[in-house]
Every structure is written in C-alpha cells, then in structure tokens.
A and B are shown apart, each in its own frame.
Chain A
C-alpha cells in the first residue's frame, strides 16, 4: 500500500527526494551534487519501498493493542488529539494542547500520558531509556511512536495554533531556536537559519520558514548512521549535544516547543514517514 502511494507521489512529481532537493539546492546547483541528501544513493533508498523501520511499525502496532502495565490495559482508548483511539491523522496535528493535562504535548509526551493513565505505568517506568544505542533495538515507546506517526504518512501537516498555549509553545520554540549559549555560542539558528548551507556534506535546511518542511516532513526516520528508527525528540537531543548544550529532558517543553516551531513552519507540507536519512 505504501509502495503504491510512493509510486503515485513520484508520478505526480512530488517524490520525497525531489522535495528534499528543492529545499536543499534552490539557491546553488553546487549544493545538489555535494550534499549527501542530494545524491542518488539516498534517493534510491527512499524509492525502494521498504525500510527497516517498517518492522518497528509492526511492533508498535502490536504494542498499541496489547494489554500491558499494572492496569493490564491496551492503548486503544488513548486520545492523541482526534478522539479516543483515533490514530489515523493524529501525528500530523501534533504537538497540540490537551485539556486533560493542561499542556501542549508532542507524540511521545502524549503516549507517556496514556501509558500512565490507561495502563498504570509510573512516570519513571513510562519514559525510561526511551532511546536505544546505535544499532540497538528501539524501545517499546519508540516502536509505538513509529506506528502512530506512520498512520499520518501521506497526510498534510496541520499543527493547530488556536489555543493560547499552542501559540506560546511556538513562540518559546522560536526563542529557543535563536538562543545562543554554551562554549561554542551556538543556537539552532547558527546552522539552520539560512538556505543553501551545508556542514561538511550534510545539507542544513532553513528551519525558520516553509523550508522547514524539507526536514520536518521526513521524520520519524531510519538514519543509516544510527541503524535504528529515530523520532524528532531524539533529533533535538542530538542537535543540542552537538551545540554543546546541556541535555533537554525527554518530553519537556524545551523539546516540544522546538518541534512546534519547526512543525508549524512546515504546515501544509505532506508527511513521508519513515524515510531513510544519512
């Protein structure tokens, strides 16, 4: 089914790699041949139709309906923003405000809430060791995240900005994005506020405008260098490590607000997940 969708997308001239190319090399023809993201090898992998992350999705789907935790319940009543149990299209509208918790939550944050309230896991148990080592096995939480995200594959990103807290999340995300700190004086903007830039041979999408979709719309993904499926929560952590910042807490506003900022900038673009990355 996914392969057919990809074929259709390719015919319509909207293939994933083309979208990446448009963003990454609109300014200079040089960028196309010199970035890993613009070269034929990743393009070929993304057109292949299969992805190791497909197996994470299989596992995640099983975990979604499996009775787990002290309450021996499944996640099938989990409300991801579109009503209890509605998974299709939910990821495309996250992060968003949830009245029951009174906060803006992203994919993993909301899954943790459901693991606690529906399944009875404690806060400590629910988000313990969420990220596997390179080449390792993804945690149950990340497997579920891969499944839920894939249920929005092919849909338009539509992150809401109605509630005051949703707008605040965007604004604080923007502040974090431009906040320079640490021994290197890096902010996200140091690398991601201009088009046509690359660090070594990695394309650096401009995340301050619509070009953010070049990156945002292709997560969660399977980065070849990681050898394990990864989500945006992981990517924010990896970026901040390289910025020489201290570590943001898993599912904290520090991460969610950055995701809101990039995501809202990407509104309208079509999600392709999981994809291959370098």
Chain B
C-alpha cells in the first residue's frame, strides 16, 4: 500500500515538474523551432510545433547578409580574452590570500566584493569619456579591459574558495622539499586546483558572453559582440521572426551548452560562497 501511494505521488510530481519545466523552457524551444521555419510560417496564425517544412534558409541568410562571424568572433575574443587575463591577475591574489592570510585578508576580500556592487551608471560617464580620449571606444581591447575588471572580484573570490579547500600541509611538504614559490604554484597548486580554475574560467566566459550594459554602450560596428548585434534586431528588422530566431539561436546555443556544465559553480560563484 505504502509503495503504491508513493508511486502515485511520484507520478503527480513528475507530471507537475515536467509541465512547469516545459513552460519555462518553451520560449527557447520556440525560438529554436522558428529558426527552421520560413518567414511566412513563423508568423502564421495557426503555428505548428513540429509539422512544418524545415529549412536552413534563415541561417544562410543571417550568415551571408550580416557580418555575423565578426560579431561571433568579437564575443569569443572578449569573453575568453577577459577571462584568461583575469585568471592571470586573480590566481596570484587568491593564492596569497588563501595560503598567506593576514589580519587584513578578510577586509580585503570584502572590499573586492564591494567593487562588484558599484552600479555601472555610477561610472558610466567617466569610463565613456576616458574611452573616447584613449581611442578605446568600439575596440575589442577596451571591452576586454572592462570585462576583466568587472569580473575580477568574482574570479578572486571563486579561486579563493577553491584554494581554501586545499590543505596547507601539501604546500608545506613541497616547501620542505625545497620548492620555490614559483614551483609551488606551478607544480603543486595548479594541478590540484585545476578543476576549480577551469570552473572559474567557465563561469566567467558565460558572464562576459552575456554581459549587456558595457558591451551595448562601448561598442558599435567594429567591436560589437553578439549581445549588441542582436540588439540591432530591435528595429523593424526584428519582425522577421525566422531570421531573428536563427541569429538568436546561434548566439545562445553555445553558451547554453557550457552553462549546463557549470550549474554547481554558478551557485558558488554568484553567491560568493554564501550558499554552498
């Protein structure tokens, strides 16, 4: 009897969960499906979920009519570039705070966190004017700099929480064996912390890929990543649903796949360790 009733509730819960999950996922699914429809079918008043003439025409159109690859490449350079530069700066800092803590370490960590809370509009004008004066407007270099700086606190924090989990004895043992600090970081710490470093990199690539304040404000035709390119569809051009869908799908699918791998790191990285 007991087994029976728990089976029944399992069926109900499963049905409920799949229905709600399906509804939440629906706009994404709908976009993916629409990207394979013709424009006429995309705005049809009696749309069909799967039974339509599948076509790749929209993808061809978007790729040939717009400099899609330029923007895609910009997104890659900006997100991966800023994450790599960020790692180079953040790893030494996180090592220092995790293994040679001082009285001030906690305050320093909190201060780094506080920079993340500065609303971007608070520094909008100076950054815009500085970028104009240094010829950084609409350049990939400029966007890499900004992305690195806005994500640096998250990187230091994530790496710090990963490094903290490595027992100090391991590093001490290598020091006993005469390893220099450089050896210690490269041959002992990095291999152990590699999964943590990889997750930090992954989460930051995702965050930079989707960042849509500075990328929209500081870029135009040359350095615009996909966030800004897609924003240009807010003009009447966006009413070509099938093409809008194809462009959106190409911008979203790569990061969606990466995102699914980074679920756990997301919690750690975005809650700054408040929830583990």
Chains A and B are bound partners = no
